Structure 1
Amino acid sequence: MINEEQLDRYRVDGTLLRVVRDADPKNDVKGIVVAWDDATVMIRKQNRRIVKLNRGYRYQPFAEPRPDDWVEG
């Protein structure tokens, strides 16, 4: 699970993230952190829609390559 400090750093810096939800790259979410609570993170996608995702997913900067070793959170 991603910690508070990482989320805050991503939000303040406006880092474009990739959220890896499962083994299929088509299901990844690309966007920036807007808000979070104990269980979820709100991500603003490029089309300006907000999605609410589980904090157990893998959050990484979009510039980094997608991991090949995906394991469900």
Structure 2
Amino acid sequence: MISDEQLNTYRLSGEKVRVVRDALETNDVIGIVVAWDEEHVLIRRQNRRVVKLNRSYDIQPFSTPRRNPFE
């Protein structure tokens, strides 16, 4: 699970993140961190829709190449 400090860093910088939910890249959620609590994180996508995701998913900076956590 990602730490509160790392989520706060992403939120303050406005950096795009990639949430890897499974092995398929097409299922990734890309956007900016808006808010979080103990179990969930809110990501605002480019189309301005907000997605509520579990914090146990792998959250990576979008600027780096995608790492598959399932390999």
Shorter-normalised TM-score: what interval? over 0.9
Q: TM-score, normalised by structure 1?
A: 0.93
Give structure 1 regions of 4+ aligned residues with deviation exceeding 2 angstroms.
none
Give the 5 Å matches for 1:1-73. Answer: 1-68=1-68, 70-71=69-70
Q: Displacement of 1:26 after TM fit?
A: 0.4
What CA RMSD, in Å, does the superposition of the two structures yield over aligned residues?
A: 0.7
CA distance, structure 2, for counterparts of residue 12 and residue 36 of structure 1:
13
CA distance, structure 2, for counterparts of residue 67 and residue 13 of structure 1:
22
Deviations 1:34-53 (A, max 9, x none): 00000000000000000000
Unaligned stretches of 5+ residues in structure 1? none
Q: Displacement of 1:56 after TM fit?
A: 0.3
Q: TM-score, normalised by structure 2?
A: 0.95
Equivalent position SS for 1:42: strand
Unaligned stretches of 5+ residues in structure 2? none
Equivalent pairs, count: 70
